[in-house]
Amino acid sequence: MKKKAAPPYFGAAYYPEAWPLEQVDEDIALMKKAGMNVMRVAEFAWSRMEPQEGSYDFDWLHTVVDKLGKAGIAAIMCTPTATPPAWLTSRYPEVLFVDENGVPNQHGARRHVCSNSPVYRGHCGRIVTALAREFGRDPNVIGWQIDNELYPHSGRGCCCPVCLRMFHDAMRARFGTIEALNAAWCNRLWSQDYTSFAELPVPRSSAGHHPSLLTAWMRFQSDSYAAFCSHQAGILHRLTVKQPVGTDMMPGMGLSYHDIHRSLDLVQYNHYCSMDSLWEAPFWMDICRPIKPAPFWNTETSTCWNGGGAANGYRESGFCRANSWLPFALGGEANLYWLWRAHRAGQELMHGSVVSSAGRPLHIFDEVREVAAGLRKAGPFLNGTRPVNTGLAIHYSCLAWWLFTFQPIVKSFSYHGSLVRSVWRPLVEKQYRPDLIDAAADLAPYRLVLSPFLPALDEAGLRGRLLDWIRAGGAWVAGPFTDIRDTEATKFPHGPYGSMEEWAGVRVRYEIPGDPRTFGLRFSDGAETQGSLWFDSYELAGGRALALYTEGPMKGLAAAVERKIGKGRIILLGTQLPPAAYLDLFAGIAAKAGVKPVAEADPNLLVVPREGPAGRGRVVVETGNRKASLKIERPVINLLTGRRHVDVLNLPPCGVAVLKEVRS
C-alpha cells in the first residue's frame, strides 16, 4: 500500500470535472514526476456533484480521490458554494447577489450569490452535508476548504433586500434605539438623523455617505461572510474526523481575518506576487502565522504568470523556487499552485500553471521538481520546528482599514502602504521578525508592540488590555493616527485622543496636516530628519521629549515623547518618520525591550529562525532577485545541498537554504 501523504504538503488546484475521467491517470503520473503530494479538488464542481436539485453524483469524485490516494497524493476537499449550478440560480433568482445600484448579478462566473440569502444558505447546507458524509472519514482527505476567496466584492458587498433588512437588525441589536445610533454618529449634523432603523439606506458609493454608516455597513458585510463560513464549518466539524477546516483568504483587509477564523481550525491563504513585489508576500504570511496555532496552508500562488484575463507578469527564472519556499519558511506546512493543468476553455484561460491544457510541462517544471526534492530533504526539520517568536508584534486592523478608507485624513495617506513601507519593511530588512496581529490578539507573548495608524483603541477591548500589558512591562510604540477615533469612526469630544494625552503625559498643542509640505525635527542625540503625513505637537505634562520640531508653528514643541507606566513604557510619535529615522529610533527601543535582529544579512534576504524537537536553525529565502549573503554565527549544514557553512552563506538570486545548526 502506498505511503500516506504527510507534510510538507506540495501541490496544486486540480479540476478533473472539466476533463475526461480517464485522463486522471495521465495527470497523476505527471504529478508524481513533479514531486507533488496534495491536490485541492471540487471547489467549483457543484453542477457535477448535483446536476439536478436533490440528485447527487459523487462517484466521479471518489474515483479521483481514490486514485490520488493510491499514488500517495492527498486531497484537500473544497465546498463548491462559490459557484452554484444554473438550475439553482434560475429556479431561485432571489439568491443572486445585488450590487449597490440594485442590479442583480447573472449566472456565469463565481461569487454571484448572496451569502445571507436563507434560500441559498439552505442549498449550501445540503451540498456541504452531502459532501461531508461522502468524504468526512476518507483517509485520503487531509482537510477542507470552505468556498473560495470570501470577500465583500463589488465595493459594498451584496445590497439585496435581505442584506439591508439584516443590516437594520444588526444596528438595532448594537444600539437598541435609533436615538442611540443618531447620538453615536452625531447625525444631527447635516440633518442626517433617522427616525427608525428602517430608514438606514444602502450606502451607495456615489452618494457621499456618512463615514460611520459606511464603516458600519462594511463591518456588517464582514460579519455576514464570517457567519456564512461558520455555518459550513459547523456542518463539517460535525461530520468529519481529524480533517481540519479552513477557507482560502486573499490579501486585503476588507473582511476581518480574525473574525472569520473563530470557527476554523487553520488559516488558508492565496497570493499572487510579481517579481517586484515578492518581498511583500511575507507581510501577509506574518499575518497568517499568529492567527491559529496550527501551521497555515498557502492554498494558491502562481508558478510563472497570472492570467485572470490575458496572460501577464512573466516571472524570471528562480521566482517559482523562492515564492514556493516562503510559506514553509514563515510557518506554513503547505504550498499549492493555481493551477495544475491550465484550463482549455472559459475564464482565466491564460493563467500560468504547472502543465499546459495539453498536459505538457511548462518551463518552470524543473523548478517545481527542485522545490519538491528540497522539501523531501528538509521535511523532518520543517515538521519538527516552528518559527521563533521574537517578542515583536505590529498591529494591523480591519477596522482601521475601513476607517481610513472612508475617512482618509490626508489625501497622501494609504493605511496599508504607509504601514508596509514605513514600518514593516524597514524592520524586516534589518532582520527583525515581527508577528502582525489583530487588535483582539493576546499581547502576552510580546515584549514590544507597534501600533502605527491604529485609530480605535476600543476595538476588541484593546484599550484596557493594552494598559495592563504596558504596566506589566511591555513597551508600546504608538502613532501617528493612533487613538484618534472611537469604534463608530467619530472623534472624541474631550480631545484629539481617547487616552493618549493622559497615558503619554502630554497635551496636544497643534494638529497640522502634512500636505503639501513637511516640517523638520531634531532628536535628543542631535540627529535631524523630516516628518511627514501629519504633525501633532506636544506640550509635556509628565512625558519626556525624544524629538522636538525645529520649524513651523510647532517649533520647540515635542514631536515624539516617552513615558514610563508601571514597569513598561509608551513611545508616542506625532508624525510619520522616514524609514531610516524610524529604524534608528526603533533600534534603541527594541534593545531595551530585549528584541534583537535575528541575523546579520543583506536586506533582500528573508531569514526565519526556527526551533523545535528537530533542532535549531534558519530558513533563508532571497526575495529581491539579486545576490545576498548571511553571516553564520554557529556551524550549520544546508539540508538542501548537504554543505557545511561556518562563516558566511552566499546565495544567488532567488536562492533558498535550510540551515540546521550542528555541533562544532
Contact 625, 593 (CB under 8 A): no
Torsion 558-562-565-570 (CA) sign:
positive
Cβ atoms of residues 79 and 146 within 8 Å:
yes
Q: Is 548 a member of any domain?
A: yes
Alpha-carbon Rg for the chain in angstroms: 26
Q: Are residue 523 and residue 630 in the same domain, yes or no? A: no
- Say how far residue 360 (Cα) sits from the centre of its chain: 33
φ/ψ of residue 309, rounded to 5? -120, -100
CB 570 within 8 A of CB 503: yes
Q: How far is CA 417 from CA 255, 276, 393, 425, 512, in A?
A: 18, 15, 18, 10, 21
* DSSP3 helix / strand / coil % (the chain, rounded to 5): 35, 20, 45
Is the predicted pLDDT of residue 651 greater than 90, yes or no? yes
In one letter, which amino acid is 304?
C
Lookup result for grid cell 514631536: 559
Q: Which of 465, 447, 468, 449 minimizes the C-alpha distance to 457? A: 465
With a cut of 70, say whether residue 233 has pLDDT above it: yes
Query: What integer best gives the mean pLDDT of the chain?
Result: 96
Residue 487: give its domain's CATH number: 3.40.50.880
Per residue in 429-461, pLDDT tens?
A: 999 999 999 999 999 999 999 999 999 999 999
Strand (E) or helix (H) holding 319: helix 319-329
In angstroms, rounded to a whole number, what is the distance separating the alpha carbons of residues 163 and 221? 9
Q: How would DSSP label each residue in 9-68?
A: EEEEEE-GGGS-GGGHHHHHHHHHHHT--EEEE-TT-HHHH-SBTTB---HHHHHHHHHH
Judged against a pLDDT cut of 50, whether residue 468 lies above it is answered with yes
Q: Report pLDDT for 148.
A: 97
Q: How many domains does the chain have?
A: 3
- The whole-number pLDDT of residue 309 equals 85
Question: What does the DSSP 8-state code read for residue 93?
Answer: G
Instruction: Give the β-pairing of 528-530 and 520-523.
Output: antiparallel
Burial class of residue 595 (count of CB atoms within 10 Å of its CB; 0-12, 13-18, 19+) = buried
Ramachandran category for residue 601: left, alpha or beta (phi over 0 → left; psi -120 to 50 → alpha)? beta
HEC assignment per residue over 437-491: ECCCCCCCCCCEEEECCCCCCCHHHHHHHHHHHHHCCCEEEECCCCCCCCCCCCC
Tell me how far apart the alpha carbons of residues 8 and 329 are, in angstroms, rounded to a whole number.
11
CATH number at residue 629: 2.60.40.1180
Q: 641 and 546 share a domain? A: no
Q: What is the pLDDT of residues 620-644, one digit of tens each?
A: 999 999 999 999 999 999 999 999 9
CA nearest neighbour of 214 among 199, 222, 225, 202: 202
What pLDDT, on the 0 to 100 scale, is given for residue 392?
Answer: 98
Q: Give the torsion sign (CA, 601, 602, 603, 608).
A: negative
Same domain, yes or no, for 121 and 79? yes
Q: Structural domain of residue 135, as residue ranges?
A: 37-251
The verdict on 615 and 488 lying in the same domain is no
Task: Write the pLDDT tens digit of every residue in 369-419.
Answer: 999 999 999 999 999 999 999 999 999 999 999 999 999 899 889 999 999
Looking at the predicted structure, is the pLDDT value of residue 1 above 70? no
**DSSP code per residue over 584-637:** HHHHHHHHHHT---S--B-TTEEEEEEEETTEEEEEEEE-SSS-EEEE-SS-EE
3-state secondary structure of 276: coil
In a domain, 345, yes or no: no
pLDDT digits (tens, 9 = 90+) for 42-96: 999 999 999 999 999 999 999 999 999 999 999 999 999 999 999 999 999 999 9
Same domain, 490 and 620: no
Question: Considering the domain boundaries, does residue 455 fall inside one?
Answer: yes
- Name which of 81, 82, 113, 117 is nearest 97 in CA terms: 113
The span from the CA of 218 to the CA of 159, in Å, is 11
pTM above 0.75, yes or no: yes
| Same-domain check for residues 101 and 245 | yes
Decide if 508 contacts 538 (C-beta within 8 A): yes
Mind listing the pLDDT tens digit for each residue in 540-551?
999 999 999 999
Predicted pLDDT of residue 364: 97
In a domain, 618, yes or no: yes
Instruction: Note whether 625 and 537 are same-domain residues.
Output: no
> Is residue 318 in some structural domain?
no
Q: Residue 385 falls within a domain, yes or no?
A: no
In a domain, 23, yes or no: no
Q: 529 versus 206: which is more confidently predicted?
A: 529
490 and 637 together in one domain: no
Handedness of CA 104, 109, 114, 117 (dihedral sign): positive
Q: Which triple of cell numbers denotes residue 390? A: 521574537
CB 255 within 8 A of CB 435: no
| Lookup: cell for 569 | 513604557
pLDDT score of 205: 82
CATH number of domain containing 132: 3.20.20.80
Number of Cα atoms under 13 Å in the Cβ half of residue 102 = 3
| Per-residue pLDDT tens over the stretch 296-311 | 999 999 999 998 889 9
How many other CB atoms are found less than 10 A from the CB of residue 281? Answer: 24
- Spatial neighbors of 415 by CB under 8 A, at least 6 apart, are 400, 401, 404, 405, 453
pLDDT of res. 2: 61
Q: How far apart are CA 341 and CA 40, in angstroms?
A: 12
Above pLDDT 70, what percent of the chain?
Answer: 100
400 and 431 in a common domain: yes
Among the candidates 226, 251, 276, a domain finishes at 251
User: pLDDT per residue over 95-111, tens digit each?
Assistant: 999 999 999 999 988 88
Q: Do residues 633 and 526 share a domain?
A: no
Determine the 3-state secondary structure of 250 from DSSP: coil
Q: Are 146 and 246 in contact (CB under 8 A)?
A: yes
Confidence check: pLDDT of 153 > 90: no
pLDDT tens-digit map of 558-590: 999 999 999 999 999 999 999 999 999 999 999
Domain boundary, last residue among 593, 627, 649: 593
Mean pLDDT of 484-502: 97
Location of C-alpha cell 483517509 = 139
**Does residue 326 lie within any of the structural domains?**
no
The domain boundary, picked from 198, 227, 251, lies at: 251
C-alpha cell at 282: 511575507
Q: Nearest CA to 503 among 470, 536, 480, 465?
A: 470
* Three cell numbers written together for 305: 504568470
Q: H or E stretch including 161?
A: helix 161-175
* Residue with the three cell numbers 450569490: 113
Q: What span, in angstroms and rounded, lies between the C-alpha atoms of 13 and 341?
A: 8
Percent over 90 (pLDDT), the chain = 95
pLDDT exceeds 50 at position 536: yes
pLDDT in tens, 19-43: 999 999 999 999 999 999 999 999 9
Say yes or no: 405 and 525 in one domain. yes
| Statement to judge: residues 54 and 191 lie in one domain | yes
**Are 187 and 194 contacting, i.e. CB atoms less than 8 angstroms apart?**
yes
